[in-house]
Structures are given as C-alpha cells and as structure tokens.
Amino acid sequence: MPDARVLRRDLLAWWTLHGRHGIPWKLRSDGGVPRDGEPLCPFRIWVAEVMLQQTQLAVMRPYWERWMLAFPDVVALAEASQHEVLLQWQGLGYYSRARRLHRSAGLLAAHGWPRDLEGWQALPGIGRSTAGSILSSAFDRPFPILDGNVRRVLARLLAWPQPPQRALAFFWRCSQELLDPLRPRAFNQALMDLGATVCTPRQPRCGACPWQSHCAAYAAGDPTRFPVKDTPPPLPFQVIGVGVVLDGAGRVLIDQRLEEGLLGGLWEFPGGKQESGESIHDTIHRELREELAIEVEVGEELIRLEHAYSHKRLRFIVHLCRWLEGEPQPLASQQVRWVEPQRLAEFPFPAANARIIAALQTWLGRQCHGGHAGQELPPA
C-alpha cells in the first residue's frame, strides 16, 4: 500500500477542485457546504443511501427529490401508508428497499438516530458500508466505506490479482487505513467521486486521476483488467404468460403481490410461468384458474416484452382476456380488485407493467375511436 498520508493529501486536493459538491443531501438545509465536523440531516442522507443501493446517482436523484416533497421527515414517512410509500418508489426498482425504509422509519422516529455501526446495521437492509457512509456523511464520524466504486478504486490502486469479494476483510482494512480521521466525510465523498467520475469501469480517465502515479494497475498498462471478476453464471430465462382481464363493464382485474420478495406489495396483472410443452394460452388459463379461481377466454396478444432482473431474465407475453365466470379470489396474493383502466396510475406496479398499461390504454383508445367501446373482446 502506498503512503496513506500522501494518498489522502492528493485525493482531497483533487476533490476540492473536481468533486461533486452539489449533491443536495450532502448540503446544509440552506444549501450551503457544511464545515468539517458540522452535522447534516440524517434523514435525507439515510433515504439517499438506501436509494443508491443498486441505483446510480443520476437515476435516483429525481426520485429522492420527489420523496422529500412527499415525506419531508422521518415522522411523515413513519405515518404514511405502505401504498403511499410504494407509489412514490414506483419505477426505482428493488422495492424491498422502500418497504425497509418504511419499517425503519417507525423505529427511528421512536428511538432517534444511531451514532454507531451497530445501531445502523440493526435496521433492515443496512450493511456495513451503508452504515459507514451514513455516519460519515451525517455526523462526520470516522467510519470507512466499501461500496462498488471504492472496491474498484482500491483493486486498481493495488492491481489486486483476485476478485475483491474474495478478500473483503483485506479491502476493509485498506479503506480504514486510507480514511482521513480528521475529515472522514470529505475523504469518503472524495473516494466515491473518484470512482464515479474518473476511475470508471470501462473508460477510466487516468490522466485526470490524482492517484495515477501510485496506481499499480496504471503501471501495468491496462487498468480495465481490474478489478478481476469471477465469471458469472448465465441468468435463468423464463416465459411469463399474463392475462389482462376485462369484464363486461370495461374494468380490468389486478392483484396485489404478497409482501415477500423484491416486488412484494406491488400490484400486477395476473399470470405466471409457462411450463414445459405448454402453450401460452394454456399458461394463462391455468394461472388464472389456480391464482384467482376464474375462467377466462384468452383473446388477442396485447404486447410482449423482455425484462432483466439481477437474478433472471423474463419474457412477458400478454393477452387480453374476457372474464367468463368465477368470483376472483386472492389465492396467491393479498387482494384482487376490478378497477377502471384510467385509475391504474393510482396503484404502484413493477416497472415491467408500465408498458403493459400503456399498451392497454392504446388498445382501449382504438376501441373508442372505432366506435366499439363496451363491446366484448374478440374471441381467441
């Protein structure tokens, strides 16, 4: 490891000129830059740090700004309904983060803001790096961080020959050793900014890096070889048959997922995984019978789309369906509802459903324009 004091000095000098100083949750309430040691609003930082898990800053920032308007403090979040919380989160993905924020808000409103790692890590979804980032950002406490950007910077600095995940204890020691104990907030932010803006995954700007002369990966001639990665296993692929079920009054049937899983608590159009040798029509018939106890006539294909999660790839094949018989029952969900299509925006849906809703609205618009509003769906 190069001299930590030299690395700190060079990084903070670079950050003073080139860092991201306008991040709103890292500023005082009046928009000013905090002095070293000055506390900041932990609520704003906590929400931002959770949103930044699995999401880039540029993508999450507008969500954070809307969230702060809806829930300006921890009490407002604790008192909100889960429906309101999920609706504000809609489109950001990994919805378990929103549910954890909501659960934690009640604890924090009652017991106050933790000042140590153990207190933060006791909250659901908060790991060591997130806890360290909150403590250093909100309270200027000397806790190291080790997010993806930091792992990449350190792996290149050392030209580490193995995937960092195999040596996490060592990388934590490096982050702790480098941390400036007098300016932990500034140093951690500088380290993240270096990874986000200079030491990027594919096209690092080595000529702009304050650590270029210390970097073993740069000296080796190809920084993009680091960090070394394990070969990921191929993502499993599934085809999902989805039924957009309409009744005689033009209402559409939706159901609310159970609480567990990444998409727990969200609303969706019913359906499920296609089994081997099964036609998509048969899949939709079977899934709606098993999950909702209804019989439908499967009509024309409305849309098909691909969606990738971190753990699997899905192809949704969506058909319009006419409800025939059976009172819908939530056999595999929390609840089911018949709703007017224009009210779908009032319910939080997974991101993949946005295109389904848009396709449905387009189809309904064509029916109205052609003078067929209220007619039954065409037969399959």
DSSP letter (8 states) at residue 142: -
Distance of CA 267 to the CA centre of its chain: 17
Calpha distance 243→270 (Å, rounded) = 6
CB burial of 266-284 (b: ≥16 within 10 Å; e: otherwise) equals bbbbbbbebeeeeebbebb
Beta strands 313-325 and 295-308 are: antiparallel
Q: How far apart are CA 21 and CA 93, in angstroms?
A: 27
Do the beta carbons of residue 124 and residue 104 sit within 8 Å? yes
Taking the alpha carbons at both ends of the chain, their separation in whole angstroms is 68
Q: Which of the 8 DSSP states describes residue 338? A: E
Considering only CA atoms, give the Rg of the chain: 25
| Tokens read off for 8 | 């700190």
Residue 74 CA to residue 81 CA, distance in Å, equals 13
d(CA 37, CA 87): 36
Contact assessment for residue 120 and residue 139, using Cβ atoms and an 8 Å cutoff: no
**Known catalytic residue at 49:** yes
SS3 state of residue 155: helix
What is d(CA 34, CA 340) in angstroms, rounded to the nearest whole number? Answer: 49
Residue with tokens 């409103």: 109
Identify the active-site residue in 49, 268, 287, 291. Answer: 49
Beta bridge pairs of residue 308: 313
DSSP letter at 342 equals G
For residue 185, the tally of other CB atoms under 10 A from its CB is 24
- Tell me how far apart the alpha carbons of residues 279 and 293 are, in angstroms, rounded to a whole number: 20
Q: Which amino acid is at 76?
A: A
The residues annotated with a catalytic role in the active site are 49
